[in-house]
Amino acid sequence: MPPKDATPDEAALRRLVQWIDGVDLPMFILVEHDDARLEFVRANETLGRVAGVPSSIFAGRSAEEIFPARMAAQLTGNYRACLDGDKPVSYEECLMIEGRETWWQTTLSKPTGFGGRVVLGIAVPTTEAKEREFAAAEAVSEMAARFDELQLFSTMAAHDARSPLATVSSLVDLVLDGFDDMGDGKVELLHLISKTVDEALEQIGSTLARSREFSGDVSRPTEVELGRLANDIAAMVDPEMTLEIDVPDASIECDAVVVQMGLRNLMANAARFAGERICVRLSEDVVRGLLILEVADDGPGLPKGTQLRDLSAEGERRDGNHGFGLRSVYQLLKSRGGTLEVRPALEQEGLPGARFRMEVPGRVLSGNPQSPLGQDDAGIWAEAS
């Protein structure tokens, strides 16, 4: 392989530019200059058309000159990871382009023959699929909530029916005890009643057993790079990097959609009120098979005694569209076997603002789970340490 400090062959670079112009996939090329500046050489017309921006805005500019500060830092980190590695880098990302939220599945590779200084990117748009995924998750959570209500109603109805039927069965047995058969068919009728009641009780027992077997677990666990996911969300909620946002660096197995939607809601709320800092903390409850994600900020905080239901009710009273709110996040987590709750503020850690805890089924694959924010309930995670 040529040394990385070799100058990319200009003729070969021109041929690569001509090649991506003829490909009907969104593609772009970056080059690393001698001063370590990463600069876009070309974004093809397909990328411009799909992104809804002129492709000419990319050539000769760096990510820092095109995108907001935090997003640019995330993108530049991805490009350098490709240049410093030996394998293609593939990831999902969300970019704010012209004020619009767009989702992409991006693959970066380092073509040979350019001294290890050129990045070739292919960015497949996934915005519509992502929106459908989010909408489906919200619909499933609503259905799960309705199903829980129906399950509770049917269980209570079965319980209510079982008691009087058991009484009828006992009364029939009492009548049959010492009953004098007069040959008029009443004994057979009483036995038929007893048999019918017993069958009804058996069916009710089966219904209750079946009800207990039902599970709302419809999660699809996948491997998620939590650091990348949290940094993407940070770039959306604080694009100009006005806040210090601490995020965990770990690989986890979980329902990616649930974690993404929940974490985004909590980080967006924190960004609205934080003064200078937001902290996202990951811990693990091995015994219960849960990941614990906490989000705390240094804002003015919540009134003492505030409960999640109070915040949910307040959000529902607001006019306009406020997106996927706390109530929906709670329902979504509950439908996947998780929880969401408000926790006491952490003034001793410089985080006097709101603090939320999200629990979701999953496990840490790599990276060290952190201690929970605060010490008020550290014993829960004793098995994870």
Average pLDDT, the chain: 80
Mean pLDDT value across residues 96-108: 81
**Average pLDDT, integer, range 3-11:** 65
What pLDDT does residue 115 have? 85
Q: What percent of the chain has pLDDT over 90?
A: 33
Res 153: pLDDT: 60
Instruction: Give which of 335, 319, 230, 289 is closest to 327, Cα–Cα.
Output: 335
Q: What is the pLDDT of residue 146?
A: 62
Architecture of the domain spanning 221-384: 2-Layer Sandwich (3.30)
Write out pLDDT tens, residues 337-352.
Answer: 889 998 888 888 889 9
Using the predicted structure, report yes or no on whether residue 183 has a pLDDT greater than 50. Answer: yes
Q: Measure the CA angle with vertex 151, ends 147 and 154; round to 5°.
A: 135
pLDDT in the model for residue 71? 87
Q: Are strands 290-297 and 251-255 parallel, antiparallel or unpaired?
A: unpaired
Q: What CATH fold (topology level) applies to the domain 10-125?
A: Beta-Lactamase (3.30.450)
Q: What is the pLDDT of residue 358?
A: 93
Overall pTM > 0.75 = no
- Sketch the domain layout of the chain as residue ranges: 10-125, 131-213, 221-384
